[in-house]
Amino acid sequence: MMFSKTFGYALRGMLYIALMQDEKRYVQVEEIAGKLTVPRHFMGKILKKLAQRGLLVSAKGPAGGFKLNKEALTTSLIQVVDITDGLAAFKSCVLSVKECNSVNPCPMHHQMVVVKTQLQDFLSDTTIGDLLTDNKTDFIKSISTALNSTDRHNISKITY
């Protein structure tokens, strides 16, 4: 089971916002998308959905953007998966066999039940806060994509 881009962007966006919370400001979509090298419009839609579901607080206007709500750092990753992708993948057959179950298993059923259970347990037991580190520069590098060596060098010069 793989996660969607939506889940990846949602989690990375929330982690970036969490890093910026000590600045006591709303973080704008343009900043988030730019730092994480993801499409601004897509990131905006995802963050809006997270705000509608209560994980983020949003504000409009020139100083607007997004902040984490009080409980966001204790939000489990499974909740983010549920919001972005739904939980159907944990219940469906990996081979898309309609009648796959313990009585009528597909060739992968029993092995995948174990894998899905372990993954679901990990996602349920891991929170947004569990993924944060103290080193902002290295952390932002780790959640960014498509950076070349020049970009990485320039990011390492940023002081927070």
Handedness of CA 31, 37, 43, 46 (dihedral sign): negative
Distance (Å, rounded) from C-alpha 89 to C-alpha 94?
8
Grouping H, G, I as helix, E, B as strand and the rest as coil, residue 85 is coil
Contact 26, 67 (CB under 8 A): yes
Q: What is the pLDDT of residues 119-138, one digit of tens each?
A: 999 999 999 999 987 777 77
Domains and CATH numbers, the chain: 5-145 (1.10.10.10)
Looking at residue 140, its amino acid is I
Rounded (10°) CA dihedral 11, 15, 16, 21: 140
Q: What is the pLDDT of residues 48-95, one digit of tens each?
A: 999 999 999 999 988 899 999 989 999 999 999 999 999 998 999 999
- Give the CB-side neighbour count of residue 94, counting CA atoms within 13 A: 13
pTM of the model: 0.82
Q: What are the DSSP calls for 31-74, one per residue?
A: HHHHHHT--HHHHHHHHHHHHHTTSEEEE-STT-EEEE-TTGGG
Distance (Å, rounded) from C-alpha 24 to C-alpha 68?
11
Q: What is the pLDDT of residues 17-57, one digit of tens each?
A: 999 988 889 999 999 999 999 999 999 999 999 999 999 99
Q: Pairing between strand 56-59 and 65-68? A: antiparallel
Give the length of the chain. Answer: 160
